[in-house]
Amino acid sequence: MINIGLVGAGYMGEVHKSAIDRISNARIIAVADVVEEKGKKMAEDINAKYYNNIEGMLKNDDIDAVYICTPTNTHVDLVKKAADSKKNIFCEKPLALSIEEADEMLKSIKANKVKAMVGHVLRFWPEYLKAKEIVDSGMIGKPRSVFCERVVVIPKWSDWFAKEEIVKGAGLDLQIHDLDYLIFLLGKPNSVFSQGVYAPDLGGWSHMNTVISFKDKVKGLVDAGWIVKGKFPFTMVLRIICEEGSIDWIFRAGENLEEISKKSPITLYKSDGSIEVLKVGTEDPYFLETGYFIDCLENNKDIKNATFEDGRESLELALSSIESAKTDKIIQFK
């Protein structure tokens, strides 16, 4: 049984609580939140102990792993404290706000020899995985261009999303999902060029149009942001164009992913003219993500997917994309 201490009883805290609830060999035994009302409510709901800060919670020797579900600017401090207390760590994405912070976190988890994973959930999302499986199989040839869209109204449940010093805008917070997936699919990027919309009232770089160049001149294109208003639905698109066919998925998930279980077809168009609606699993990606983390802890396996190194790499790409938008320059990677 893996005993969990959850830090941050907000939106993602609830998402992870629901996923952990469904895992028989894991349970949340402690909840920490600086807002007593929120933390106590979640703790009472699941019969866990409430703490008003992580320091108190970390004194609990029964805790094996800590879930960090707090605003991004708090991640570095909380991760280092959890690692120093020899707790395994699941940290929500983006890992941090800067490469320096990410490096401090990596140093800390290595020095303390704890297992650590970052919440890059597209690596566990059935449609994104199916698309990767087809590309990796080579059945439709090599990829040439991959388009990812993620357009959503700025989260309304917490006001910090609109604060640049806490989140660095959608250019980091939202776009990083697709940047991370592109790295997962295509490997290390060679260069990035972005144009963006800078909206100080929405946390800075708030809508990005990004072009990334990968090995063999394969292009990744990302259209991601939260400047849309009103009832614009959470929209995700994945279109992978390969030499001998294309994969296409267009998904609208309600206002804030509440219709995540609603399915829309992911379709394979082959060069021979055939059209195939692909079969994908229906499981909640956050459940699959947490299942992987718990399995690695329970069976003492190395975490090989969505590692902190992966989180650092996608953070570097997102920050470079913002830098490119600011300077109007292509950023090359070594």
Ligand X SMILES: NC(=O)c1ccc[n+]([C@@H]2O[C@H](COP(=O)([O-])OP(=O)(O)OC[C@H]3O[C@@H](n4cnc5c(N)ncnc54)[C@H](O)[C@@H]3O)[C@@H](O)[C@H]2O)c1
> Which one, 12 or 199, has the nearer CB to ligand X?
12
**3 touches 25 (CB < 8 A):** no
Minimal distance in Å, beta carbon 152 to ligand X? 10
Q: Which residues bind ligand X (CB under 6 A)?
A: 7-13, 32-35, 38, 54, 69-72, 74, 92-93, 119, 121, 157-158, 173
* Type of residue found at 90: F
> Which one, 211 or 257, has the nearer CB to ligand X?
257
Among candidates 334, 306, 333, which has minimal Cα distance to 320?
333
Minimal distance in Å, beta carbon 138 to ligand X? 30
Q: Dig out the tokens for 79 from the structure.
A: 């991760």
> Which one, 90 or 193, has the nearer CB to ligand X?
90
Q: Dig out the tokens for 186 from the structure.
A: 């295509």
Q: Kindly report each contact of residues 227-235 with a partner whose C-beta sits within 8 Å and lies 24 or more positions away, as own/partner.
A: 227/154, 227/170, 227/197, 227/199, 227/202, 228/151, 228/152, 228/153, 229/153, 230/153, 231/153, 231/255, 232/151, 232/152, 232/153, 234/151, 234/152, 235/149, 235/150, 235/151, 235/152
Query: What is the edge-to-edge ordering of all strands in the sheet holding 65-68?
Result: 49-51, 26-32, 2-7, 65-68, 88-91, 116-118
> Which one, 124 or 249, has the nearer CB to ligand X?
124
Q: Dig out the tokens for 23 from the structure.
A: 């895992």
Region of residue 22 (left: phi > 0; alpha: psi -120 to 50; beta: else): alpha
Minimal distance in Å, beta carbon 210 to ligand X? 18
Q: Dig out the tokens for 197 from the structure.
A: 């919309």
Closest residue to ligand X: CB criterion = 10
> Which one, 140 or 168, has the nearer CB to ligand X?
168
> Which one, 71 or 233, has the nearer CB to ligand X?
71
User: Do the bridges between strand 49-51 and strand 26-32 make them parallel or antiparallel, or are there none, so unpaired?
Assistant: parallel
> Which one, 12 or 224, has the nearer CB to ligand X?
12
Minimal distance in Å, beta carbon 300 to ligand X? 26
The residue behind tokens 């909840």 is 31
